[in-house]
């Protein structure tokens, strides 16, 4: 009996319940009002509430508020349960008990786990009872509720044990709370900072794709927060099964290390920022390194220059070193010769590491697969276009012909030659290679259009690339429920439901797209109208596009159907136009027409006012999306709304004579 008594001390458990039981009560009430109470309220409504198939993880049950309690309450439990470790008197008293340290530690861990599990289990029990007495299948299933239980139990245990682990490393409760979140975010943060760092040095490296595809896997907190009830439609749960199993194993590892640290922790470490003095250099270096990368990122994003990036490394690293030193020594008086020498050492180590990381990727930068290795290739204007197709589970329109693949490789090689990772060019390229061995290669570049004009033209005028740029080429008219044409600068729209008319329109539209030249694709003439498609009752899809007056077959078909004048902008739709001389000696960070036009307006440059119908007709032959030219034309449709306008531009040779004469 004596050994049993010593192995389990009820008084310690009772004391823990008295000290931190309020956290368990708040946890229960928070989850109860967000989940079971919300269920009772929606069941009592006469009109059903709109639900989704995410069940307890959806918007009906405010999953983002559930996550708030999940992130906060387990950490509070760890902080308050082990508060005695950070107060010298309390620490001495607790460790004066006739009980081994390991057993005392396990008693507190047992108390914390029980107090965290009870609120979750009670709410789960309420959900089970509700499902047994009424039909709740519109809101959740038993499987969905069981997964909710598993998720909250695992994540609560992980955050609690992570908090305990940090509590054994530090002697300050405030530092414990902050460092726990930093610890759980640290892998993802370092991953993001390193990815950005690589993207500024390595040609072709796509930080967007890397972070989007795997960022959440480096932090359980990022995994939870990235879902938030609003993730992609195919994602039904915030954390995948494999990830939950891994988080459980990580929590067990945290427990084992925490137990060892607790047993070997010095009682005198209470009140110190780090209880283990041997970790001081590691902590200082880590903070210095992270702040150096953050400083480099901040100044790079704001200035896009390597000199400012290096300055950011220096400023960020200096700030990080000073902050870490102040925290460890608990004083701001760290600006002396001793710390200057230490700062130099840490700064040199950080600089070497920052410089070495990109060198490890040199082969990545220069690699272009041989044509014989490539099965197919996809090229788009950025990663997000590719992501949209994959998220909507749409078949990727790859380039497969040998000639088109070779043109793509030629473009890729030229981009490697002339691209600069810090380029502020407006032209984006994203490559996806499917190789014969089944592997995939991703590259992304950003340059000015003119520097790769010929290589780009060779790719863009292929039929296969046009299927990428204009997904409607891969759409069958039989799949379309509704087709809507709407002018972009005037009210009204034309809706087509007749399958024969839809088929006829898509036939002439595809003819016009196949006939487009590179120049027409990049800078089409005239003001456009939009076309959108509804498939299976859904309007959200990538098949929308713009049609222009240069689409001859489409225009003729619209005229025959009798709605061309309403659906395409006519001269009589325009209230007046303003023509500006495109400034020759300009010092603008951007050259696209909207940016230049706004700068001219801000500088109060006087334009040529045009209101005569015959002159406006000539102005409608201008080009969209120009990044250079001689004249900019702004079309206004309502004198009461100066913000409602469209822009076209002219080169010197294409401009109407009355414009040239005015600006001579």
Q: What is the pLDDT of residues 104-134, one digit of tens each?
A: 888 889 989 999 999 999 999 999 999 888 8
Q: Taking Cα atoms as reference points, which of 90, 39, 31 lies closest to residue 60?
A: 39
pLDDT at 564: 84
* Confidence label for 270 from pLDDT (cuts 50, 70 and 90): low
The stretches of 95-217 forming alpha helices (DSSP H) are: 101-133, 142-169, 173-199, 207-214
Q: Answer yes or no: do 451 and 487 share one domain.
A: no
CA 597, CA 580: separation in Å to the nearest integer?
Answer: 8
Taking the C-alpha atoms of 196, 197, 198 and 202 in order, what is their torsion angle to the nearest 10 degrees? 110
Q: Average pLDDT of 141-157?
A: 92
Q: Average pLDDT of 241-264?
A: 89
Residues 6+ apart with CB under 8 A from 492: 486, 566, 567
Q: Answer yes or no: do 9 and 147 share one domain.
A: yes
Strand partners, 312: none
Q: Answer yes or no: do 333 and 462 share one domain.
A: no
Q: Answer yes or no: do 575 and 558 share one domain.
A: no
Q: Answer yes or no: do 159 and 51 share one domain.
A: yes
Answer whether residue 273 is part of any domain: no
- pLDDT of residue 155 exceeding 90, the answer is yes
* Of the candidate ranges 21-25, 238-242, 421-425, the one whose mean pLDDT is the lowest: 421-425
Of 567, 595, 619, which marks where a domain is finished?
Answer: 567
- pLDDT of residue 587 exceeding 70, the answer is no
SS3 state at 441: strand
Q: What are φ and ψ of residue 380, in 5° steps?
A: -145, 180
Q: Answer yes or no: do 31 and 153 share one domain.
A: yes
CATH code: domain of residue 486: 2.60.40
- pLDDT of residue 156 exceeding 90, the answer is yes
Q: Answer yes or no: do 428 and 506 share one domain.
A: no
pLDDT at 230: 47
- pLDDT of residue 324 exceeding 60, the answer is yes
Helix (H) or strand (E) holding 440: strand 440-447
Other beta carbons within 10 Å of 381 = 13
Cβ–Cβ under 8 Å, residues 288 and 280: no
pTM as predicted: 0.75
Answer whether residue 154 is part of any domain: yes
Q: Average pLDDT of 555-565?
A: 88
Q: Answer yes or no: do 533 and 606 share one domain.
A: no
For the record, the structure tokens of 61 come out as: 């049950």
Q: What is the pLDDT of residues 182-224, one digit of tens each?
A: 888 888 888 888 888 888 888 888 888 887 777 778 888 888 8
pLDDT at 231: 46
pLDDT at 271: 57
Q: What is the pLDDT of residues 274-284, one digit of tens each?
A: 666 677 788 88
Q: Answer yes or no: do 261 and 395 share one domain.
A: no
* Of the candidate ranges 23-37, 76-90, 133-147, 225-239, the one whose mean pLDDT is the lowest: 225-239
Residue 411 sits in which domain range? Answer: 373-469
* Confidence label for 1 from pLDDT (cuts 50, 70 and 90): very low
The stretches of 369-486 forming alpha helices (DSSP H) are: 383-391, 402-418, 453-460, 463-469
pLDDT at 86: 67
Please count the structural domains in the chain.
Answer: 5
- pLDDT of residue 509 exceeding 70, the answer is yes
Backbone conformation region of residue 625, classed left if phi is above 0, alpha if psi is from -120 to 50, else beta? left
Q: Answer yes or no: do 541 and 649 share one domain.
A: no
Residue bearing the bigger pLDDT, 158 or 477 = 158
């Amino acid at each position: 009996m004596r050994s049993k008594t010593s192995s389990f001390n009820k008084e310690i458990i009772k004391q823990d319940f008295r000290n931190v039981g309020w956290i368990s009560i708040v946890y229960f009430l928070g989850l109860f009002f967000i989940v079971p109470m919300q269920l009772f309220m929606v069941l009592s409504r006469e009109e059903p509430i709109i639900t989704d198939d995410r069940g307890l993880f959806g918007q009906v049950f405010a999953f983002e508020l559930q996550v708030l309690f999940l992130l906060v309450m387990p950490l509070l439990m760890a902080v308050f349960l082990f508060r005695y470790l950070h107060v010298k008197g309390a620490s001495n008293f607790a460790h004066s008990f006739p009980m081994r340290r390991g057993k005392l530690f396990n008693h507190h861990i047992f108390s914390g786990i029980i107090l965290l599990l009870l609120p979750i289990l009670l709410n789960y029990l309420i959900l089970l009872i509700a499902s047994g007495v009424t039909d709740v299948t519109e809101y959740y299933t038993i499987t969905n509720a069981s997964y909710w239980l598993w998720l909250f139990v695992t994540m609560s245990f992980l955050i609690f044990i992570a908090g305990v682990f940090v509590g054994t490393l530090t002697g300050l409760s405030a530092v414990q709370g902050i460092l726990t979140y930093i610890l759980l975010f640290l892998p993802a943060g370092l991953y993001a900072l390193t990815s950005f760092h690589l993207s500024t040095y390595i040609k072709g490296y796509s930080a967007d794709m890397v972070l989007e595809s795997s960022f959440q896997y480096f932090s359980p907190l990022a995994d939870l927060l990235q879902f938030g009830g609003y993730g992609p439609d195919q994602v039904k749960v915030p954390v995948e099964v494999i990830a939950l199993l891994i988080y459980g194993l990580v929590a067990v590892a945290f427990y084992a290390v925490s137990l060892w640290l607790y047993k070997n922790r010095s009682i005198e470490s209470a009140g110190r920022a780090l209880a283990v003095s041997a970790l001081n250099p590691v902590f200082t270096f880590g903070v210095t390194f992270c702040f150096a990368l953050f400083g480099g990122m901040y100044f790079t994003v704001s200035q896009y220059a390597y000199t400012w990036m290096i300055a950011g490394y220096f400023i960020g690293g200096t700030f990080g070193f000073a902050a870490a030193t102040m925290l460890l020594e608990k004083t701001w008086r760290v600006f002396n010769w001793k710390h200057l020498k230490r700062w130099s050492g840490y700064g040199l180590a950080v600089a070497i590491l920052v410089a070495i990381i990109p060198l490890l990727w040199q082969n990545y930068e220069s690699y272009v697969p041989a044509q014989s290795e490539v099965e197919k290739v996809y090229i788009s204007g950025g990663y997000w276009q590719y992501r949209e197709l994959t998220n909507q589970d749409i078949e990727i329109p790859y380039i497969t012909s040998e000639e088109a693949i070779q043109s793509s490789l030629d473009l890729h090689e030229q981009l490697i030659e002339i691209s600069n990772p810090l380029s502020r060019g407006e032209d984006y390229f994203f490559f996806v290679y499917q190789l014969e061995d089944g592997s995939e290669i991703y590259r992304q570049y950003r340059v000015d259009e003119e520097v790769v004009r010929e290589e780009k033209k060779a790719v863009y005028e292929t039929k296969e690339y046009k299927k990428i740029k204009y997904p409607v080429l891969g759409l069958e008219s039989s799949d379309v429920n509704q087709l809507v044409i709407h002018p972009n600068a005037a009210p009204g729209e034309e809706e087509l439901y007749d399958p024969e008319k839809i088929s006829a329109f898509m036939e002439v539209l595809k003819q016009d797209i196949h006939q487009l030249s590179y120049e027409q694709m990049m800078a089409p003439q005239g003001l456009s109208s939009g076309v959108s498609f509804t498939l299976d009752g859904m309007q959200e899809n990538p098949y929308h596009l713009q049609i222009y007056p240069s689409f001859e077959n489409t225009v003729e078909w619209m005229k025959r159907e009798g709605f061309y004048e309403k659906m395409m902008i006519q001269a009589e739709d325009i209230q007046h136009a303003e023509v500006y001389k495109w400034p020759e000696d300009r010092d603008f960070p951007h050259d696209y027409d909207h940016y230049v036009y706004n700068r001219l307006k801000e500088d109060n440059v006087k334009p040529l006012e045009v209101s005569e119908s015959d002159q406006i007709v000539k102005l409608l032959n201008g080009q969209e999306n120009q990044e250079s030219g001689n004249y900019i034309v702004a079309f206004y449709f309502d004198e009461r709304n100066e913000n409602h306008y469209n822009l076209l531009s002219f080169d010197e040779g294409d401009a109407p004579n009355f414009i040239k004469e005015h600006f001579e």
